[in-house]
Chain A
Amino acid sequence: MDSFQLLMEGFATALTPINLIYALIGVTLGTLVGVLPGIGPAMTVALLLPITFSVPPASAFIMFAGIYYGGMYGGSTTSILLNTPGESSSMITALEGNKMAKRGRAAQALATAAIGSFVAGTIATGLLVVAAPLVVDFAISFGPEDYFALAILAFTAVSSVLSRSVVRGLASLGVGLVIGLIGIDQQTGQARLTMGVPQLLDGIDVVIVAVGLFALGEVLYVASRLRHGEPEVVPVGRPFLGRSDWSRSWRPWLRGTALGFPFGALPGGGAEIPTFLSYTVEKKLARGVTREEFGKGAIEGVAGPEAANNASAAGTLVPLLTLGLPTSATAAILLAAFQQYGLQPGPQLFDHNPALVWGMIASLFIGNTMLLVLNLPLAPLWARVLHIPRPYLYSGIVLFAALGVYALNSSWVDMVILYVLGVLGFAMRRFGLPIAPAVIGLILGPMAEVQLRRALAIGAGDVTVLVRSPMAAVLLAVALLALFAPLIRKLAARRITG
């Protein structure tokens, strides 16, 4: 089998001592930063980007794979031990997980989350190995109009799914698109929207935008309404599962994986929907004592959503690696990391850089195993991280945000841009605009423009070229559907009630 052979070669790359060390550093830093309250996986990846600046690409992506999965693990520890999750994807875990912890079953909650994440991550990465080459074979014939349609689908899906208000999702997307326009037009060399500031000619780096919107925006937001007093952290020993916990956990793990992977791979799918679905499914399937336990700390309600969360993280990598299409904010930042090395994910990446791609995929398996081995015994240590006094935590986040941005160009202008974006992130948080559409618009906007202009040039100005391929027509139709679905639902509801 071809991709099996490539995967084995990937393992050969990833299993060299130096790359194993990079993977270990990646998972450790990823977990450490992911555990910190207020820092989700997207911010974890954005803040840790500068560390990889001086590392060769293959090793850097092995490290990133570790950071990516580590950040997810860390997030679940936070939501179980501290009942106020910051990320929407671990909100569901907190529902039952924190209640379990308060009933003295923190060790079991952490164990089912860690082992469930391992099981789901391993199966889903296996599915990635199978699915990626298939998508690559399919995508190799994609024309510019297909890529343009894909980008539009990603835009509308992420804007309408992630927010309860479509107009706010679209506003966020638009802001991202505008930021993406700033700088020199790639095709004609014309400066656009630079307002005469020479530092803007190269555009605003994605790292600045991500760090500004996520990190500085979060700090300003927290500063505006800081919760005073010590946070309540549930104490925990070494995680373990009893016999009955195992038998109650393994089916939710598998069901969660089955929900998480496909949703992660879809534009706008993300981790929110599958974790929520998994929770609902487990609650529906619960019988007897378990049914009573739901709402008071049922282990199924942690096992399923945690598995779904990790499986969707692997699912996200399918469109990212094979099409260059990010479907979540974290994926958008990973894409930016690729671009920093001059690499463009897509079918060609598998052709030109098989060692890098397969090394990264192999290291996902390795990182996942490392995380399991690391996290079960180290859980009490991670729990201690949650006690960091909040003033130090948020000052530290700003310090590292500044460090990451200054490391890019050594320019104070970037710091001012960072601040402006931080204020924007603050306003978006306060008024409930989702951040992910902005990051995806920023990174996919320039690609959409290139593909649109290329398609129209091939069509000699004929706009119908955009729907000439059946693939593009279908994608655009689905994009429209995603945009208007909430509206149609609302009209239907109004008709029924009225």
Chain B
Amino acid sequence: MSLPEEPGGATDRGADPAYSWRRPELVLALVVLALGAFVIVGTADVTAAGSTFGLGPRFFPIIVGSALLLIGLFYVLDVVRGGRGDPEQAEDADTDAPADWRTVVLVSVIFLAFAGLLDLLGWIIAGALLFFGLSVTLGAEHRLRAGVVAVVLSTLTYLAFVKGLGVTLPAGLLSGVI
């Protein structure tokens, strides 16, 4: 793991480097804090006069925003003082392995490219490319097999959901063919 290792879990504040501003989790804590500010500032333009008791559409957001500012503050303090959450257990994730950012970025790029090209290419082509790209990125050994699985899966889901269940999926380039 790239962050300084500390024994124990969330509530432990061991004798280890107690106060530090250099923790990756701080980013998340600051996002929470910023979200609180965003709710309060972002609803400033909501002006409808509700009832006379100040219960307009800004009433609840201000409560949520203030609460979030408070929570964010405590969260930042906790992180700075060395508190740490337990990374989630998952079947296929090795929590002791160092983070593999290259794979994460590649997965992200493939997914966003899929999102952008889906309407143009259609579900079958875009879906097959998405599956193929991701499985190769995640370590599929036989590219040919991955390609075949990708095409079969995207075609089958298209047929099952569009023809069978009446769900709308884009036909894209293949609109005349299928």
Map CB proximity to B onto A84-119 as digits: 1 under 8 Å, 0 otherwise: 111010010000000000000000000000000000
Q: Which of A123-131, A261-269, A351-359, A389-397 is found at the contact surface with chain B?
A: A389-397
**DSSP class of B's interface residues: helix, strand, loop or mixed?**
helix
B5 sits at the interface (CB 8 A): no
Contact A432 B85 (CB under 8 A): yes
Closest Cβ–Cβ distance, residue B106 to chain A (whole Å): 8
Closest Cβ–Cβ distance, residue B53 to chain A (whole Å): 3
Residues of A within 8 A of B9 (CB): 164-165, 432
Contact B100 A192 (CB under 8 A): no
Within 8 A of B (CB), among A230-246: 231
Within 8 A of B (CB), among A357-399: 389-396, 398-399
Contact B46 A86 (CB under 8 A): no
Q: Contacts A188-B50, A190-B57, A407-B161: A391 and B87 contacting too (C-beta < 8 A)?
A: no
With CB as the reference atom, state the residue of chain A lying closest to B68: A174
B93 sits at the interface (CB 8 A): yes
Contact B11 A452 (CB under 8 A): no
A-B contact pairs, 28 of them (CB 8 A): A38-B90, A86-B89, A86-B91, A164-B10, A165-B78, A192-B61, A195-B42, A216-B111, A219-B107, A220-B107, A221-B93, A224-B101, A226-B93, A226-B103, A227-B97, A395-B140, A402-B114, A402-B130, A403-B169, A406-B169, A407-B161, A419-B111, A428-B28, A429-B90, A430-B87, A431-B87, A433-B85, A461-B54
A485 sits at the interface (CB 8 A): no
With CB as the reference atom, state the residue of chain A lying closest to B51: A457
9 additional A-B residue pairs with CB within 8 Å, beyond A165-B9, A181-B43: A167-B74, A171-B32, A185-B48, A222-B93, A392-B140, A396-B131, A400-B157, A406-B118, A452-B60
Contact A192 B57 (CB under 8 A): yes
B178 sits at the interface (CB 8 A): no
Closest Cβ–Cβ distance, residue B54 to chain A (whole Å): 7
Closest Cβ–Cβ distance, residue B99 to chain A (whole Å): 5
Within the complex, which residue of A174, A389, A410, A490 is in contact with B64, where a contact is CB–CB below 8 Å?
A174
Residues of A within 8 A of B157 (CB): 399-400, 403
Q: Report, as a range, how many residues of chain A touch the other chain.
A: 35 or more
A53 to B161, CA, bound (A): 10
With CB as the reference atom, state the residue of chain B lying closest to A186: B57
Q: Contacts A85-B91, A171-B72, A399-B130: A181 and B61 contacting too (C-beta < 8 A)?
A: yes
Within 8 A of B (CB), among A198-240: 216, 218-228, 231
Closest Cβ–Cβ distance, residue B139 to chain A (whole Å): 5
Contact B61 A395 (CB under 8 A): no
Contact B100 A456 (CB under 8 A): no
Contact B75 A168 (CB under 8 A): yes
Within 8 A of A (CB), among B32-57: 32, 35-36, 38-39, 42-43, 46-48, 50-57
Contact B46 A192 (CB under 8 A): yes
Contact B50 A419 (CB under 8 A): no
Within 8 A of A (CB), among B55-112: 55-57, 59-61, 64, 67-68, 71-72, 74-75, 78, 83-95, 97-101, 103-104, 107-108, 111-112
Within the complex, which residue of A188, A416, A456 is in contact with B112, where a contact is CB–CB below 8 Å?
A416
A459 to B11, CA, bound (A): 41
Contact A461 B53 (CB under 8 A): yes
The 3 closest A-B pairs by CB, nearest first: A432-B85, A165-B10, A461-B53
Q: Contacts A193-B42, A406-B118, A415-B118: A175 and B92 contacting too (C-beta < 8 A)?
A: no
Residues of B within 8 A of A412 (CB): 115-116, 118-119
Within the complex, which residue of B57, B71, B83, B134 is in contact with A394, where a contact is CB–CB below 8 Å?
B134
A427 sits at the interface (CB 8 A): yes
A37 sits at the interface (CB 8 A): yes
Contact B138 A226 (CB under 8 A): yes
Within the complex, which residue of B64, B95, B170 is in contact with A225, where a contact is CB–CB below 8 Å?
B95
Contact A164 B90 (CB under 8 A): no
With CB as the reference atom, state the residue of chain A lying closest to B110: A398
From B97, B115, B119, B149, residue with most partner A Cβ within 10 Å:
B115
Residues of A within 8 A of B114 (CB): 402, 415
Contact B42 A431 (CB under 8 A): no
A410 to B64, CA, bound (A): 31
A274 sits at the interface (CB 8 A): no
Closest Cβ–Cβ distance, residue B27 to chain A (whole Å): 8
Closest Cβ–Cβ distance, residue A375 to chain B (whole Å): 20
From B11, B59, B138, B149, residue with most partner A Cβ within 10 Å:
B138
A117 to B43, CA, bound (A): 48
Contact B115 A419 (CB under 8 A): yes
Closest Cβ–Cβ distance, residue A453 to chain B (whole Å): 5
A315 sits at the interface (CB 8 A): no
Residues of B within 8 A of A219 (CB): 107
A476 sits at the interface (CB 8 A): no
Within the complex, which residue of A38, A167, A225, A400 is in contact with B98, where a contact is CB–CB below 8 Å?
A225
